[in-house]
Chain A
Amino acid sequence: MVEVGLWGALIPLAGNQPRVQVEARDIRELLRKLVEAHPGLQEPFDEGVAVVIDGTVYRDDWSRTLPDGAEVFVMRRLAGG
């Protein structure tokens, strides 16, 4: 079980919870279970999502595992310049 922080725009779509508990081994499972629990998250995830694990931003590597007690945060996939 990991505790996941959500970026601001997601909070209203996840029952107004800024942090949610998810049982997930890796990013792929995390995102799938988040959408299962909160279908409204599908659209923002489709527009682009990144997951921060212990301070490191992962935008594409969805096989990245979530270590026990990891600090996890779901963030919009941002553009660079």
Chain B
Amino acid sequence: MGFDPSYQDRKFNAVGTRPKRPDGIDKVTGRARYGADFNMPGQLVARVLRSPHAHARITSIDTSRAEALKGVKAVVTAADMPDLTGGKRSAFAILSNCMARDKVFYDGHAVAAVAAIDARTARAALKLIDVTYDVLPHVVDVDAAMAADAPLLHDNVFTRGVDPRPETSSNVAARSEFGHGDVAAGFAAAEVVVERTYKTEQTHQGYIEPHACVASVNPDGTAELWVCTQGHFVFRQTCADLLGMDVSKLRVTSSEIGGGFGGKTHVWAEPVALALSRKAGRPVKLVMSRDEVFRASGPTSATSIDVRIGATSDGRITAADATLRYSSGPWADAWAETGAMTSFACYDLENVRTVGLEVLVNRPKSAAYRAPSAPMAAFAVESAVDELATRLGMDPVEFRIRNAASEGTRSSYGPVYGPIGIGPTLEAAQAHAHMQAPLGENQGRGMACGFWFNFGGQTCTDLNVNADGTVTLAVGTVDVGGARASLSLVAAEELGIAYDRVKAVVADTATLGYNDMTDGSRGTFSSSMATISAARNAIRVMRERAAMTWGIPVEDVVWEDGHARARTPGQGNQSLSIKDIAAKSGNTGGPIAGHSELVADGAGVSFATHICDVEVDPETGATRVVRYTVIQDAGKAVHPDYVEGQYQGGAAQGIGWALNEEYIYGADGRLQNPGFLDYRVPVCSDLPMIDTQILEIPNPNHPYGVRGVGETSIVPPLAAVANAVSNAAGVRLAHIPMSPPRILAALDQKG
């Protein structure tokens, strides 16, 4: 292909401006169609029967009374979804999560599902499904699950990553370790050591749109799935694998997505909807209620983290050690491992060790949530770093600058860094007016850094030049936050045409090649790379058409400002616009398009620094965020409005996590707050304006220098808020969320 993804310095015309988004009018008029806004002829309504128990063996399921109810067209259980996963652990976990097999592992675990002619009939049918359970002891707390006498979720889990393999089963599914140097020697050399255990409670992504899909399976095995997802190609693959369908026969269309934040990278009920449709022979619409969203989809890990850091009195860290215990729900995953990798990633450490433990608990299967696993690790480490700076009598920013990683630093998770942006964000924070602003009574300031990997991945884009010279850009990464605007800007930039001449759409799985999901902050990074490549391919075709028209070699035709121009003076001042070339395309070889299929690797790691001021009511423990600033490297901000939006949104989610959001389980293992009333996401009146500062340090592995921006902004806030609250309250808060009762108790303990 010859596409060179490396960065080239250039002057931008379109990129970096702030035009109106192409999907704006649809979204402000209510015309945009989300997961639940689509219907098919003859469609049935699905509802899912869910376990009321945290842990139980299913001794029998009798669906006959439900099947006999007039209007019920299909009932499915695990028996309708046989295990086709071929021993692949992660796939089996997904299957078992979609529909409980012999055991239910959490309150809300799906047990059976019904498709009926209307919601009322489906709801009535659920009450006619007879399930008998043998209730088992349960455990929801990550530390309790590790106790020797804890109830075991499985009897065949022998901690992986431990040599020799343990002889007894436990709830610790895996152990991982990272680091280098001699940690013991490092602590011996330390003059000051801080050590503390931190806890974070489980949070949900809290997207406003519940999971929704319409599935339609035909008798010949062809099928369609309309669904709100962050990755329709991945959903197609997963659903086809789990249900034994041909990938080519399943066409998945991604609806407009009403928020995902990682939670819509996983399938939850989509295979169930397909199974119901297959059985009923009719289209089936399945929309989760908010209660189901909380009980049975998406939460991130609850954690318990030990951190120990030592430093010399002149402020140089000599050793750092952390053990991170992350709940992973009923099945093993790599959440603690990811936390262990990210925990000390901001720092240049001679001696460091991190250990991650994946802990099984009777909670929903843990899911990705925006820079998954990193915020909790950053909370623990950045709290400890702050405490250490205080003990040393050093300014927290200065202390971090002194220990920050830079190009050539061996990261705590193994590799050596290339050029990275932690230093510049810290220096920008140090220079920011926010750091110097006076604080009022009962107010405190905190700051913290955050790291995330960022990913690229498989990406495919079609750029079609229409007969009038306008451009249709078909991308395969779901637009979660304004990517169609950004990608239209990139196409306009590369082609040298106006932004409004480009229309970007998200193509379905039948009309474009495979694309990885919109995750890992990759949407704009990857698809812009593919768009640039596709545009260059289209330009090559248009140069050929111009050369053909003029009868000169293609090498003598250049592309400038949306025009093909003859390069050699002897060939005159010939020039053809994209519109001229498109108009004649039928006579010069047919339609003009540029395609691109590539792997967008080299996303580059990402760093941010946040500053937060809070006011704590000393009599009630109520906390108000009074000022907040986000500083993050974007590489190149394609559409700065939506870069700012990512920064502000991540900060707001992090603030909610820090202060009020948590899963609360009763003694019976049932979720007490599966709704927005008591799962307390920040409301408009909770937050101040969120200031942003975009740094632009070009990413060497992208033609425009673009870096993913979606996730890193949620990493620092937990610690930034905790440091601010601790400074305001005069006591260290080590348990997130810092809800008023926890703060008041800490204040009382301080006396």
Q: Which residues of A contact B (CB under 8 A)?
A: 5, 7-9, 11-12, 16, 47, 52, 54-61, 64, 71, 73, 75-76, 78-81
Contacts and interface: CB of A to CB of B under 8 A. Distances in A.
Contacts of A47: 89-90
Contact of B160 (A9, A55, A71): A9
A57 B299 CA distance: 27
B599 A60 contact: yes
A56 B161 contact: no
Given A47-B90, A59-B455, A81-B711, A76 B416 contact: no
B92 interface: no
Contacts of B701: 56
B521 A80 contact: yes
B418 interface: yes
Nearest to A44: B160
B601 A75 contact: no
Given A52-B414, A76-B334, A12 B161 contact: yes
Given A9-B176, A12-B163, A81-B372, A58 B338 contact: no
B145 interface: no
Interface in B167-191: 174-178
Contacts of B457: 59-60
Given A7-B178, A8-B161, A81 B601 contact: no
7 contacts: A55-B415, A55-B418, A57-B601, A59-B601, A79-B262, A80-B519, A81-B262
Contacts of B454: 80
Nearest to B700: A56
A50 to B, nearest CB: 9
A75 B415 contact: yes
Contact of A73 (B261, B334, B414): B414
Nearest to A70: B416
B632 interface: no
Given A8-B177, A54-B418, A56-B601, 6 more contacts: A5-B415, A9-B175, A16-B163, A79-B334, A79-B338, A81-B262
B404 to A, nearest CB: 15
Interface string B532-575: 00000000000000000000000000000000000000000000
A57 B525 CA distance: 14
Instruction: Specify which of A16, A60, A73, A80 lies most central, judged by the most chain B CB atoms within 10 Å of its CB.
Output: A80
Contacts, number: 115
Nearest to A52: B415
8 shortest A-B CB distances, which residue pairs?
A: A80-B520, A81-B262, A55-B418, A80-B519, A52-B415, A12-B163, A73-B415, A8-B177
A81 B418 contact: no
Contacts of B604: 56
Given A58-B602, A75-B413, A80 B368 contact: yes
Contact of B368 (A12, A58, A79): A79
A73 B458 CA distance: 21
Contacts of A61: 599, 601
B351 interface: no
B291 to A, nearest CB: 23
A56 B519 contact: no
B417 interface: yes
B161 A81 contact: no
Contacts of A57: 415, 453, 455, 601-603, 605
Given A8-B161, A80-B521, A80-B522, A55 B417 contact: yes
B744 interface: no
B369 A81 contact: yes
Contacts of A75: 341, 413-415
B161 A71 contact: no
A9 B415 contact: no
B413 A56 contact: no
A16 B163 CA distance: 9
Nearest to A18: B180
A58 B455 CA distance: 9
Nearest to B701: A56
A73 B418 CA distance: 13
A67 to B, nearest CB: 13
